[in-house]
Homo-oligomer: A and B are copies of this chain.
């Protein structure tokens, strides 16, 4: 198939060429005297991404799922009770893991399309005078439904109830793309992965633990070894890892952290909001379709789940998109299988990539019989992009750029 694939699943995301290049490295001795430079620099720079100064980032050669497991087994003991809420496939899977690993869970069932039920959490926590609940989990961004939750609200619920439970957050599909504030929100463990906002292939489970979480680890009796924070922290202290690290991934991470610094975290968040707004303009204003997210306050800036009309199978849209237009969209998972298709709009993206994807989604929908106005989505997104700035005002916003008559290099040229 000629040309590039348009990758619009909500992860893995496009690996920037700079990062891809950085990963082309020969193997080296991971116990050499120069190796600690790399370890220390990535661990240090990860702190800024988590917005923490007191937290401890830990990099597992694993995935976000491994990060979930690390978060639970390092802080809880068998039989401990966890408060959770289910509103999508990923919040569901974490709950499922809690049970499988031998912990108890009190689950608040929500509609898919809603986020963490902050009021309900507040109520439950307030009632839990005996502090049976040892940890509260919250999925910051539910990848299956395109819903972003209010983690600051969860923190407030805990604080209002003066509840000592740990706050464990899944930020796999938000970290580095949607504002996340480890310290300010009092998050105890944040779980993320390499293949989303960090713009790397999958292969690293990246977590950050608060001092309180590390303290909890000392009395936690859940069996663990590969995912033990202690081994990592001990080895990391001198710049090493307890077992052979995934070198290309670490070098890639080094480069992606540099890129994040260069663009600036706040500018990255702004860009994600801006591109997501373009997508939502296409869906809502152009195509006149609905989002799975029930309310604008839930809208995710990294992924949108678009509800297909009754009688249409969302999987068909995805199939046509992939096979006819080389466009990869996300499928509806589990409860919303067939009912939605998803556009991931996170990571290393710009307007034209998004517009190409919207054009492809549009054609695919028309091909399978969805009656939308041809060209309407692209036009709505174009309008949004043309009338909004792609960087915050603090930087020189696009609206202020005067397009000079500067010509593009030489106007003469040979082959």
Q: Mark A24-56, 1 if CB is under 8 A from B, else 0.
A: 111111111101100000000000000000000
Does A184 sit within 8 A of B, measured CB to CB? no
A202 touches B247 (CB 8 A): yes
In the complex, chain B residues whose CB is within 8 Å of the CB of A61: 61-63, 66, 202-203
Q: Mark A343-371, 1 if CB is under 8 A from B, else 0.
A: 00000111111011101101100111000
B385 touches A363 (CB 8 A): yes
Among A116-124, A302-310, A403-411, the stretch in contact with B: A403-411
Interface of A is mostly: loop
Interface size class of A (residues with CB under 8 A): 35 or more
In the complex, chain B residues whose CB is within 8 Å of the CB of A100: 223-225, 228
Shortest Cβ gap from A107 to chain B (Å) = 17
Q: Which of B29, B222, B245, B348 contacts A7 (CB 8 A)?
A: B29
Does A172 sit within 8 A of B, measured CB to CB? yes
B409 touches A90 (CB 8 A): no
Closest 9 CB pairs of A and B: A375-B379, A3-B350, A64-B415, A356-B356, A31-B409, A203-B246, A202-B244, A29-B328, A355-B359
- Could you write out 15 A-B pairs with CB less than 8 Å apart? A4-B348, A7-B26, A29-B330, A33-B409, A36-B409, A65-B243, A68-B415, A100-B223, A201-B247, A242-B414, A248-B248, A313-B405, A319-B404, A338-B407, A355-B356
